[in-house]
Every structure is written in structure tokens, then in C-alpha cells.
Structure 1
Amino acid sequence: MTDRALVVVRAGALTTVQDRGRPGHAHLGVPPSGMLDAPAGLLANRLVGNAPGSALLETTLNGVALRPRCAVTIAVTGAPCPVTVDGRPAAWGAPVRVPAGALLDVGTATSGVRSYVAVSGGLDVDPVLGSRATDLLSGLGPPPLTDGTVLPLGPAHSLYAPVDMGPQPAPPGELVLRITLGPRHDWFTPTALRTLTTRTFHVSTTSNRIGLRTEGPRLDRAIPHELPSEGLVLGAVQVPPNGRPVIFLADHPTTGGYPVVAVVHPRDLPSAAQATPGTPVRFVDSAPTQPRRRLRRSERSSDEGGPGAKPPVSGRGG
């Protein structure tokens, strides 16, 4: 048995192995998975000199405790939390050397939800479809950690130079999500669309890696019947029968039958990963308002089928 390994002493509420995920397999029903707060995870890998795609740990709320069988360098990023080595305080957001057999304890988040623990060499668990990420929806990848789990580590040497520290945004006090309306926004009443972009929602306690659920005003539908299942993307804002929006995160289903009223800008999703229950949520329509241009007489004639009008394009509509 190799000594390049970590032993899980305390698994925490939910600690999973993550990397950049396995995008490109939606046609097989496989979600993208991967780090919910990718900038934080990438920074953790950079701090210890790992390649960006190296596997690391994503903790939820109350951290994790680990005992390496060999000396390693670790870094903890994401949600701020206390870090100790054999009971002595250690740095958060910077590289820390942990001797073989010492106890690394990553404590409860003081703000935010998810912390990231990178270890020099990366976690060397078996990849599935090109990724080592745990996917809670499909069950692909390693299962969530339990006490006593042994995690093998990759080679310690790396061509990537570590850094001493890096800037990290604070977890959001208010979650502002830029959205593009569609593809099924026309299934909702005009009042519901105004409610979506003018009222405040709050993060629900039932949120998880699959989706961030909200509490607050209801979005009423103009079309009451249901859709056949259709494809879903990361950041889709789906509205189930209770009328409260759900923002789909990395472990989201690849198809669904409830209408999607909007899609969140990808750069805003890492903040959603760190929003604690009760955090206010506002949706902002990012599509610029285009002023209506007056048509010249020649353009009006064309639009009305008069002189200069173009023949209709044949073929099926999209």
C-alpha cells in the first residue's frame, strides 16, 4: 500500500472529490458535475502547484479532517474557515505544509457554504468518463467521503509553480444573478416576468449541488399544461408547479418537463455555490433594451410586400 495517501478522519456533512467535471455527455444523460465554485477550486490547485484539472475536495459547511501518510502541501480556499494542523492554527487561502501523520482539520465555514482542499499531487482516484468528480445525481465518480476512507495521491512533482496567495471574493451577502430570458419565458404571465426581475427571493434550505432552490413570490404561468421533457443547461432557471424558481447547478438533470424561464450568466454561478440559506436573491435581465428604430419608406415597402420586397424563405422554421 502506497504511503502517498490521505486518511479521512472526519468526513463532514458532505465532502466530495471534484475537478473540472465531465462536460459534453448530456446526450448520455450525464450532468457536467465538477466544482461548484470553480474559481476557488482552481486557486486552491494553483496554491499547491497542481495542474488546474487536478482532483481536490469540496466540503459543505462543516469541513473535513484528514491525516496524510506522507508530508504534503495543502491549501484551503472558497468559504472562509479555521484551519489547524495538530491543533495549531494554520493559514487559510495560502499553502500550508502538513507533516506525515499530522491531523489537518478544516473547520466550519464562518461564511459561505463550500470550501476547497487541494493537496500537492492531487487526488488519484479512478476517473470515469475522463473526470474524477463525484456526481450526486447520476452516482458517477467516487461516493461522498465517509470516515476511514483512504484517498490515493498523485506524484508530488509538478511543472506548475505554486503561488503564495491569491485574491478571493467574499461569499455574497446578496446574490445578484444576471439572466437572459427564455427559452420558455412566454409560458409565464407578464406580471410573473416583472416579478422575476423586480422582486427579491431567498435561498432555500433545500438547495444542494443539483440546484439552488428559492423561496419568495410565486411566478404564475400563462400556459398551464406541461411540456414534453427537453434539454437543460447549467444555470437554467426552471419553475416547478409551486412557482418558485430553481437555478440548476453542476449536478443538474440533463432533461426536464417544467418550463425554463431564464438562464443565469455562467460567471454568476460560483457565487450561487457560496450563498447560504436565507441569502437574498435578485434576478437582473442582462439583455440590453433596444430602442425601436423608425423604418424608412423603402423598408416599410419591403416589409409590407411592396416594391423591393424579398420573397419568403422556404424551409422549416426553428
Structure 2
Amino acid sequence: MIEVLRPGPLATIQDLGRPGHAHLGVPRSGAADPRALRLANRLVGNPENTAGLELTLGGTTLRFDRPTWLAATGAPTTLRINARAHGPNTPCFVPPGAVVEVGLPAEGLRTYLAIRGGIAIEPTLGSRSTDLLSGLGPAPLAQGDRLPIGPSNDLAPIEVDVAPVAPLPASPVLRILPGPRDDWFTAEALATLTSQPYEVTSESNRVGVRLDGPKLDRDRDGELGSEGMVVGALQVPPSGLPILFLADHPTTGGYPVVAVLASTELPTAAQLRPGQHIRFHL
């Protein structure tokens, strides 16, 4: 069992989400940075889809009542187990009764904590993920919560000391594919989008990253009929400022999508912090 002594700014339970339900209005959700969660699970011998913790800007303190292993990935931060510091991207042993503290990451936004055996709460529609938009799954962690740990006897042995991970870029350049509604914008809109930087605003969350910068002008008046949305879509509301959809995005939307992120860029997008500047490359 894990006792939450301090949840931090936002701590949620996440696995790789609940795909296949968009036609019912249920988004996939899951870890905003699935690459980091997969790595954390592999480090402690879990299957990649095992539920772990997604910690936004750290600040989380947990107490473990039984011995286990854990690993922290994603936004790099100091992990303290009974006040002893441990680095990221490495399996760490947790003795019974230990207190684990996750600090503020030096870069990036979301740190992933995988526990050997995983978080064994009851799944909803096949997933244990918290979806902040639809309200499905468990609520964000609160002080006093107690989280069950799953069995670990049949899991793979832990054979890795540390996983080398490239540092997060300070000023990311994110690759995009045009459309499907770039024809709703002026001929200069894509050039504007890809030639000037945008700033990540403080209004960003797991639903999407709100950007401030050059406005994208429309070439058409009127409203677009509601249509399906995907993670990574750059939707442009009437303000002309794009919103980059993340894991908890709505399944449909009525504003035109000027471009979509290449899927390999999604982990970088999930780690964007307010105030950071990014560029787009077509």
C-alpha cells in the first residue's frame, strides 16, 4: 500500500489510456508522455501499460508500507528515499516504511513514477487512467489517499542499472503535417506558423497547450461542422492562436485544425512548461 502524504500540484494515476471508445465520446487519455511511462515500467520489470503516477512539477511525498522497486522518468528530478538522493531513469529499491519524496524537476513538466506491480485500482473501460476532461477514472491524488500495489512475483527480473535518456530541448522544434483544414486559412498562415516562435502559456493543461504568438488568419468565414479530433492536433479558435491538443483532448471539435504534430513529437509536447518558446517545422 502507498500512502499519499503530499500530492504536489497535480498527481494522477495513468497507464496508456483507453483507446477504441472515441465513437462513444470517450477520449483515449492516458499518460501525456507515454514514452516516459513505458520506460519507467520497463525499468522495474512491469509490462509497459502498467498504471503508474504522473506528477506535474513534482512536490509529491509518499509512504510505502512494503518493500518494492520504483523508477522515475520524464521530467528529471531528484528522488529521495528516506532522505537519500537517487537519480532519474534508474530502478531504486524502497524498504518497508520508507518515505519517498519527488522534487521539482529542473526541466520539463511531468515526471512518471512506476512501482513494481503497478497501481492496482479498479479499471474504468479497461484503463486506470485519470481523464481530467471527461471525469473518467480515479480522481487526482489527495493527501491521505491509499493506493494498492499489484502483485510482482511473476514480473520480469530487474536487470538494468540506468537507462541513458537525451536531455529535454530548451527550445523545441516540433515537426508538423499540414491539414486537414489548412484550406480554411490564408496562404500565409502555414508560413507564419513555421517561421516565428510561440510561447507556452500558463493556461495549458493535460487537455491542451495554449500558445501565444503570431495569429493565424482565416480565409473562410462561418463555422466548421463538428468533426473528430486526434492528439497532436493544432486547433485554431477565433482568436487565431493555436491550441495543441494533448492526452485529455475532446473527441470532437468545431474549430479548424491547421496542422497535426508528428506522433514522435508528442512526448516533447507533453513536457512543455509555461513560458517556454517553441517552433514548428513543416
TM interval, short-chain normalised: over 0.9
How many Å separate the matches in 2 of 1:171 and 1:144?
26
Structure 1 residues 98-109: aligned runs within 5 Å? 98-109=94-105
Q: Measure how far apart 1:37 and its partner are.
A: 1.1
* Mapping of residues 39-118 of structure 1, within 5 Å: 39-118=35-114
Aligned match of 1:21 = 17
Is 1:209 the counterpart of 2:206? The answer is yes
Partner of 1:227: 224
**In structure 2, how many angstroms separate the alpha carbons of the residues matched to 1:193 and 1:272?**
19
Q: Contact conserved, 1:172 with 1:275, CA < 8 A, in 2?
A: no
CA distance in 2, matches of 1:92, 1:229: 42
* SS of residue paired to 2:56: coil
Q: CA RMSD in A?
A: 1.1
- Count residues with an aligned counterpart: 281
Q: Which runs of 5+ in 1 are unaligned?
A: 286-318
CA distance in 2, matches of 1:118, 1:145: 15
Aligned partner of 1:283: which letter?
Answer: F
Answer yes or no: is the 8 Å Cα contact 1:8–1:67 preserved in 2.
yes
Q: Please give the secondary structure, in 2, of the residue aligned with 1:169.
A: coil
The AA in structure 2 aligned to 1:263 is V
Give the secondary-structure state (helix, strand or coil) at the position aligned to 1:15. strand
Q: Secondary structure at the residue paired with 1:197?
A: helix
Quote the Cα distance in structure 2 between the aligned partners of 1:193 and 1:60: 32
Secondary structure of the equivalent of 2:266? helix
Corresponding residue number in structure 1 for 2:146 = 150
> What's the counterpart of residue 215 of structure 2?
218
* Aligned partners of 1:63 and 1:109 also within 8 Å: no
Tell me, yes or no, if the aligned pair for 2:58 and 2:111 is still in contact at 8 Å: no
DSSP 3-state at the match of 2:206: coil
1:198 CA drift (Å): 1.3
CA contact (8 A) 2:72 2:114 kept: yes
**Greater CA deviation, 168-177 or 230-239?**
168-177
User: What TM-score does the superposition give when structure 1 sets the normalisation length?
Assistant: 0.86
Deviates more, 1:88-97 or 1:176-185: 88-97
Of the candidates 266, 270, 275, which is equivalent to residue 269 of structure 1? Answer: 266
The reply to whether residue 194 of structure 1 matches residue 183 of structure 2 is: no
Contact 1:237 1:247 survives alignment (8 Å): yes
**1:203 deviation in Å?**
1.1
State the shift of 1:147 in Å.
0.4
Deviation (angstroms), 1:23: 1.1
Match of 1:288 in 2: none
8 Å CA contact 1:79–1:113 kept in 2: the answer is yes
The normalised TM-score by structure 2 is: 0.97
SS in 2 for 1:57: strand
- Residue deviations 1:196-222 (CA, integer Å, cap 9, x gap): 121111111111110011110000101
Deviation at 1:167, TM superposition (A): 1.9
CA distance in 2, matches of 1:161, 1:197: 46
2:122 is the alignment partner of 1:126: yes
Instruction: Select between 172-181 and 215-224 the one with higher mean Cα deviation.
Output: 172-181
The structure 2 residue matched to 1:135, chosen from 131, 142, 156, is: 131
2:63 alignment partner, SS class: strand
1:211 maps to a residue whose letter is: G
* 2:183 partner SS: helix
